[in-house]
Structure 1
Amino acid sequence: MASFFSVNLSYQGKTIPLENLTTATTGAEFHGLVYDALQLSPTDSTLKVLLKGKRIEPDSTTAVFAKVPSNKPPKILVMASAKTSVEELNAKKQDPTIRGFDTPKTASASSTSYWGPHGIQPDKNYKFGRLQECPFHEFGHRPTDTTPHAFAARQLLQRLSTDPGVIAILQERQLVVGTLGEMDPIDDRLMQKKQQQHSGACLLGYNTNRGLRIDIKLRTDDLTGFRPYFQLVSTLIHELSHNWVGEHNTLFWANYGQMRLEYFMAHKRQQHALWNGQNSAMLAELPSALMQSQDKAILAFVQQELVQEMAQHHLHPNMIEAPLRQRYDELQATMPAGQRLGGSGTATAAGDKRNMALEAAERRAREQQRQKEENEKKGR
């Protein structure tokens, strides 16, 4: 004669007894009894039943219990999901930031995909250690349907971290940043606290422990989109400058201004390398007229930027004109000959004429040598 025993179902915080079980009860039979005990329908709900952390399968023909429990009734954890919710979840696209076990790791191949194969490769030593977007559940309030997903925020952080101009700054200044993260677009209490403690904080970003972590406010205040990329890069360079100087003094602004020059000139250097018909300056959304100019427009542009930014701290870029001009001249000297600025196209045209004259002289010399060799042969 079979021995009957009972178990306790733990469901939604309640304990429900389930009786008349035997050691012959199969997984399929057990699921049927659970449905009845919870007054649920198999057509509307899906159950997940766990015994000591092990799942009891709904179609199993194996007995659930090897022997009659000798002590108190075993506790069975039960979770129920509406089938419509499960189907909707299965129909959703896979999170592109999650790599499956059978998917090869291709981080190095995808890290510069936005900038194309001609982009500057990140340095193995001077780089951002990790990226961290702001998940929806950490927002100061619930996001709306028009709020870009966290996946898009991570892609934007990836774009910033692999920007050729940013990489050039990291390499030139030998900078290492532990984490490049997204600032919570609503809950800015941490940022406000840092503003009170350190004058080096910025409204659109902050630098923790001189590069241990940099956070950038990616999203607009209404959460409907991201801030302009040009502005985000400016904020990132601003925070990178705080790796060297905490205060917004003339030393900080000189350093920041030089880094801005390095950013623009890095893109200027790659203006002939196209990726899908665009160069890196176009992908970085830089003013086309600025990149095509053959005079000192980049230096003037950075100085004009600094007028407004330094005014908030009662300073003026005239105070740092010498170090900015010196850095510009250094960068200009390292530019390829065809890309050196300073003549509104005249220098380039003159260079072309000199090259043509040199080629003509070389052709005349080769012709004269050929004629001489032929005359010597005839003389013999």
Structure 2
Amino acid sequence: MATIDFTVSHKGRNYSLSLPSVTTFEELQAELEELTSVAPKNQKVLYKGKKATLNVEGTIGDAGIKSGVKVQLLGSTAEELGELRQVEGEFQRRERILRERASKSQPKLRSTGSASSSSIQFRFHSIEPLPHLPNPSGARELLEKLSNDPAIRHVMQIHHFSVGLLTELAPHEHPELLGLNVNAGQAIKLRLRTDAYDGFRLYKDVRRVLCHELTHNVWGDHDNNFKELNSKLNREVLEFERSVTNGTHTLSGLPSDIYQPSSEQEAYAQSYILGGSAPVEGTIDERRQLMLQAAMKRLQKDEEDLENSCGTSGPSATQSSSSS
């Protein structure tokens, strides 16, 4: 009887297996549970970048697992899940305490009922990490940071954006996508994690994808209308953060993740006039405007690349069954 020799990787440890090609997926799961203590119901088996979707009658040979293949196992033991729930409970408790302290320290301000109802209506109404992926508490923390980002909340209020659910995309389930807007704001899904699940993508990169997907609340296709609104959102985010940096615009009680120039082009713009050779000698406002123009030029180039990784419209839309 033919055997298949392959390696299973789980949380940094490698296990060598030699099983008959007629081994069923259920039998493989039992073997993996014995090795790793991860129950079958908590197991996600990945190989060649795809998730195994075998039924209990399927064999590992039928699934295309061959000798030399490296299989990745995702999943937590019962003990780890218990610890995770305890950590998440403690995290939620600390968040509640911080919110209560913040509300008590806020000065009493007069506000109109319309402003209050607007802040309640135009926001992310819920967030949800994917519980079957590693470190869901870290994913939740990133989603909460995005949903509470002062600049994002600012543009959502201006444009009356309301999103039912902010959640994440699993790299192995949608390897071609960075973002997806379902039914014009019913849900926005973002790629938070690196391909190897060893960490999270840069915050500013994820937030740029979020601005792109928010634009799909209004425009479905990547046409000129979409590009114009998306460019406007990016500009408003940058302008808002620059005003916060300069102390001219604040949202009471909200932490701020201030954008800082990072590209060579922006660094150049701080000292030189674009297209010239002399240092900038204009006013502070003129230099700030020059930096903003340089930042927008960089974002426009990034946006062209992002369109190919958006599941709402464009090349990736035909590959995603979840898009509207």
Q: TM-score normalised to the size of structure 2? A: 0.51
Structure 1 residues 1-380: aligned runs within 5 Å: 94-97=86-89, 106=96, 109=99, 123-136=119-132, 139=133, 143=134, 149-188=135-174, 203-272=177-246, 283-287=257-261, 293-310=287-304
**Comparing 293-302 and 235-244, the one that deviates more:** 293-302
Q: Is the 8 A contact 1:135 1:150 kept in 2?
A: yes
Q: Distance in 1 between matches of 2:101 and 2:218?
A: 27
Q: Is the 8 A contact 1:183 1:216 kept in 2?
A: yes
SS of residue paired to 1:225: coil
One-letter amino acid matched to 1:247:
D
Q: Distance in 1 between matches of 2:101 and 2:164?
A: 17
- RMSD of aligned C-alpha atoms? 4.3
TM-aligned CA distance change 1:295 to 1:280, over 3 Å: farther
One-letter amino acid matched to 1:209:
N
One-letter amino acid matched to 2:204:
F
TM-aligned CA distance change 1:104 to 1:303, over 3 Å: closer
SS of residue paired to 2:288: coil
- Displacement of 1:259 in angstroms is 0.2
- Displacement of 1:185 in angstroms is 2.4
Q: Distance in 2 between matches of 1:226 and 1:311?
A: 20
TM-aligned CA distance change 1:287 to 1:92, over 3 Å: same
1:230-282: CA deviations, max 9, x gaps?
A: 1001000000000011111111011000000110111111115599xxx966x
TM-aligned CA distance change 1:158 to 1:88, over 3 Å: closer
Pairs aligned (count): 198
TM-aligned CA distance change 1:313 to 1:208, over 3 Å: closer
Q: Is the 8 A contact 1:237 1:259 kept in 2?
A: yes
TM-aligned CA distance change 1:233 to 1:104, over 3 Å: closer
1:343-371: CA deviations, max 9, x gaps?
A: xxxxxxxxxxxxxxxxxxxxxxxxxxxxx
SS of residue paired to 2:126: strand
Identity percentage of aligned residues:
26
Q: Which has the larger radius of gyration?
A: 1
Q: Is the 8 A contact 2:171 2:194 kept in 1?
A: yes
One-letter amino acid matched to 2:299:
E
Question: Once superposed, which parts of structure 1, at least 4 consecutive aligned residues long, lie more than 6 Å away?
Answer: 85-93, 110-113, 311-314
**Comparing 295-304 and 207-216, the one that deviates more:** 295-304
**Comparing 287-296 and 179-188, the one that deviates more:** 287-296
Q: Distance in 1 between matches of 2:194 and 2:172?
A: 9
Q: Which blocks of at least 5 consecutive residues in structure 2 are unaligned? A: 1-76, 108-115, 271-283, 309-324
Q: Is the 8 A contact 2:245 2:258 kept in 1?
A: no
TM-aligned CA distance change 1:87 to 1:164, over 3 Å: closer
Q: Distance in 1 between matches of 2:180 and 2:259?
A: 23
TM-aligned CA distance change 1:111 to 1:159, over 3 Å: farther
1:156-194: CA deviations, max 9, x gaps?
A: 0000011111001100101100000011122128xx6xx
SS of residue paired to 1:124: helix
Q: Distance in 2 between matches of 1:88 and 1:243?
A: 39
Q: Distance in 1 between matches of 2:219 and 2:146?
A: 22
SS of residue paired to 2:228: helix
Q: TM-score normalised to the size of structure 1? A: 0.44
One-letter amino acid matched to 2:288:
Q
- Displacement of 1:106 in angstroms is 3.2
SS of residue paired to 1:177: coil
SS of residue paired to 2:164: strand
Q: Is the 8 A contact 1:216 1:232 kept in 2?
A: yes
Q: Distance in 2 between matches of 1:215 and 1:164?
A: 20
Q: Distance in 1 between matches of 2:138 and 2:101?
A: 15
